[in-house]
Structure 1
Amino acid sequence: MDPLRLIRDHTIAGIIAESTHDDERIHLKDVDVELRRTTETNYRSKAGNKLLKVEAIWYFIKYHVANPDAAHTAYMKAAIAAGFSTLSMLDRKDLIAYLTGERATSDRIDITVPVIVDEEGVSTVDAKRAREEDEAEGVPRERVLRDRNSVLRAPKDMTSVLDFFAAPEEEKERLEEEKQQAADLAKGIKNQRYRDVKEQVFWREHVGSDFDMMNLDTNASFLSGPKPPVDDGTDMLMTDARAMEKQPTAPSGPSTASRGGPAAAAKAPRKTSGKPGGVPIIIVPAGFNQKVVLNMFNAKEFLQDGKFTQWDVVQKAGAKKSSSVYISRTYKRDGAKVKYEVTEKAPHKRSEDWARVAAVFVLGAKWQFKDWPFRGVEDGDLVETFTKIRGFHARFDGDPEVDVVKTWNVKPITISRTKRHGDRAAFEFFWDELDRHLALRSSALKY
């Protein structure tokens, strides 16, 4: 028997004022069931989402019927003085409308909560007969809200389930990639972040065992700009060595470079356009909770066009997420397009791509920087990290600031969940701050 419904029926019938109570039970008039005061109903409060107890609802509506114009504070004082638990003012309007019959139902009633009446709360009168009569009376007004077919037809977001089953396979692929990179380093082969093992196997099968000696860059079709220079000078030494082997013996005199010899062609520096450091990298979080402002679903539109859409809206619209994308920046570039790479995966710890990482959006957790190559990260010291890389912390205007972020050298960016007029200012602040950081470090990146 539903205690909430009993209280509602008595209120509508105008006899709620005739009900009484003792220290443990509520006695409703003309009802064979006595309600235990501490029994929980299926009405969820807006304050804390907890289930309201019988005594709180009963005393509230009884007091309201007797004092309809009384303020909520007066009810609170009376309830405390009488020894009853109280309910929040947030629930006041909805409860009155439902219990007095103004509304047929309430959104705060949780139909999934079973209605349980303690056996000790049943009076010695024939409770079984009363229950059968009550249920028979309510059958014509009942309707099935959910059944198996309606649940199966309801739209569902299975992303979390798919991610759960895909996680072991992704972890396995990551471990295999790390093993291959370690083996390549041991053999003296340059480690590229976008190296694809299957592509290497393909080239070795079609070119032969001389593939490694040919020093081919299998990523050339993927990278848009000239290949970044190698810090240790290995490529230059190998190029000079091959040139010396091909150079014919010549008497002293005018240099072969003036005659256009092959050695001169080999030693001639390659011409590159723009700055030689490569495409800058911006790292965004890989998280998918409600406090994440930017991830791979919405980062491109914001960083490229200054337009912000919450990532879950983009996801529900059917957009596909990739782990890395390129954006074309035109802001303060006089119409020219400058390419940036946006990714959710940090480079491998020994990768040369760390020289291209220009900015990172932080979540506020130190584990985000695990396996980063900078001094102190293993101990949680991120001073060097944010000295070399410009850090940003994007948060929604209604979310509190993360305490640990306040101790980091990162720039806060605040985005509104509902108001879009401030998005452009946040967009311009990001690029201006990143330009200032790269200029102070005399960066060679193409920014």
Structure 2
Amino acid sequence: MSDSIDPITLLRETIISGKLDSVKLIQDKRELLFEKFEGGLKLPLDHPTAWKSSQPNQYLTLGQIWLYMCNLHLSNLDYMKRNREVGTTMVTMNDREPVKLYFSGQAQSADNIDEIARPSTVLKKSYLKSGKQVQSSAQVQEQMLKRREVKQEEKREKRDKKCIDFINECERKLSGKTNCLQAQGKSFLQVLQLGYTLTGRAEKAKEVQERIKQRMEQIASQNARYSSLSGANRALLGVSQIVDVDVGLLHSNKNQKRRSLLEEIQRMPKAQDPRTMEPYQRGPVRPIIIVPASFSPGSISLTYAKSFLQNGEYDLKQAAVSVTAPVIISRKINDETQEFEIHDSVTTFTDTQWKRIVAVFVNGQEWQFKDWADKLGGAKRYVELFLRVRGYFLHFADQAPPEQIGKWNIKLLPLQRNKRHQDVTVYNELWSDLEAFLHREKFKAPDLSF
């Protein structure tokens, strides 16, 4: 039999078993005698229980609950007189109904019981029978409040840690202070102008205004030149100029919002199992990234795709690992988890899979695209291809890219051969660029069939 006594459990079991009359008050010692125990068991009348009062930071005592349950039949005035005689405080009106329901057995649980503070109210039978003086009511109350404060602090720390973990999950990994200032394709000149204006620096604000005007003229000029060209002549603008222009906005109506490439893919119908007519894939439709089927040091293949594209780690130790397509990775985009499929071959692709391709890692050789001929209209339409999908060339920085790469609209991603801690910088640059591409309108050309 347990040596511990919980005042709430003891009193409730005594009342439910119909033995409330066996509990006697020893007025001069301010104790309650529970005669059902062999030799009797005395508990302090003023010992706090874990029952939270409606009064702030207050708990009902054993004597308060016992006296109220003994006098349910009395009027409020007579109940008040009885409390004066015993020397206890009345149970408040707000507390009476919950106390009555729980201790009479009509309710199996009660929200008023503070499970955090409950251990502080437990007494030991052996200690009580020894005649030793137990802690005073004030000491027990203080322990209960301290225990509650500690638990609340632990909850706050867990909540704060959860918030910090969420922020860290959403933030880009940074390897240096320079990365903090990178925001590809975005200009904060208007924010800077507002800051100068609010701090009364009119001349600085005017200078920024001139820079904003010049920037707007540059964008307008780029848009006009791009719209006037077609086909291979668009390549004359140069990669850097095209990258900074949102191709979708060049042909868009200002009063009509166009869907981005990512939105178009997410709205595609999912492939269904013909037997059950259930989708093969759960969750949103996945965009597809193509990597080379062959591997050379510094490049990427299916084997290294997950470690680099998911974790920002170019792990050469995985060379012996066998991987089959598709490899699935996930990425937080607009506060939502978006999955991607990684493939190294398009030979068995359906029309829907072709339309889901958003990026290609190239090895610099034209034979990589031998299976793309039908989708390119039977010609080498690499200018249109790399406007429709984003092209990347991953390589070691001390290796010169193939000559063919310079003719294509490809983003170079140079890795440091012996500095793996800098992989995350390239990883951030890649995803910043790809996310910007996904938020643009899909490039459409009559010569491309996907």
TM range (shorter): 0.3 to 0.5
Which structure shows the higher helix fraction? 2
TM-score (norm 2): 0.35
Q: Which has the higher contact order (CA 8 A, sep 6+)?
A: 2
